[in-house]
């Protein structure tokens, strides 16, 4: 197996796990705290036992996916593969999504944990905006996964 095949396999795997986790998060976890902010947010964070996907899954999955995507982006730029544009689009989009994740999504989630210290009127629009942008982020990740699958299938 070549380095290209291993890198693409890792990208497809990472994006598949990321996409499926994002779908689960959007359908199951986010509604628990985002349905009626700030009350739902306060109630969610007041629970002694609550889903901690950020600290248990995303803290591991996001950096791994970022590194795999960066490595694939470098390989894609050096490649002469006929599917090179798809490969660059896939890995480049994921790198961009991860930069936005670190710059906006994670810090905003951390601010949401401190809802008691924030004005109630300002939190609801921020939560709605975060949830809507999270769906857009998920679409880009899923599209990147499909593009990576296309490239991976071309080398088999």
Of the ranges 14-18, 54-58, 115-119, which is most confident?
A: 14-18
What is the value of pTM for the model shown?
0.92
The residue extents of the domains of the chain are 3-40+52-155
Helices (H), 2-58: 3-24, 30-34, 39-46, 53
Nearest to 88 by CA among 99, 101, 72, 100: 72
Q: Is the pLDDT of residue 117 over 70?
A: no
**For residue 114, how many other CB atoms are within 10 A of its CB?**
9
Show the CA angle centred on residue 139, arms to residues 63 and 136, nearest 5°.
90
Mean of the per-residue pLDDT values for the chain?
A: 93
145 contacts 22 by C-beta, under 8 angstroms = no
Residue linked to tokens 């899954």: 57
Indicate whether 116 pLDDT > 70. no
- Per-residue pLDDT of 33-92, as tens digits, reads 999 988 898 888 888 888 888 888 999 999 999 999 999 999 999 999 999 999 999 999
């Amino acid at each position: 197996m070549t380095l290209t095949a291993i890198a693409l396999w890792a990208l497809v795997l990472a994006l598949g796990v990321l996409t499926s986790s994002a779908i689960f998060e959007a359908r199951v976890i986010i509604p628990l705290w985002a349905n009626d902010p700030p009350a739902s947010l306060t109630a969610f964070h007041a629970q002694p036992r609550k889903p901690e996907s950020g600290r248990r899954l995303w803290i591991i999955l996001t950096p791994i996916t970022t590194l795999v995507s960066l490595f694939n982006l470098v390989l894609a730029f050096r490649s002469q593969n006929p599917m090179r544009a798809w490969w660059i689009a896939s890995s480049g989009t994921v790198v961009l999504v991860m930069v936005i994740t670190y710059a906006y999504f994670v810090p905003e989630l951390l601010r949401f944990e401190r809802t008691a210290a924030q004005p109630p009127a300002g939190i609801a629009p921020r939560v709605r905006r975060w949830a809507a942008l999270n769906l857009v982020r998920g679409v880009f990740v899923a599209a990147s996964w499909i593009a990576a699958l296309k490239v991976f299938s071309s080398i088999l």
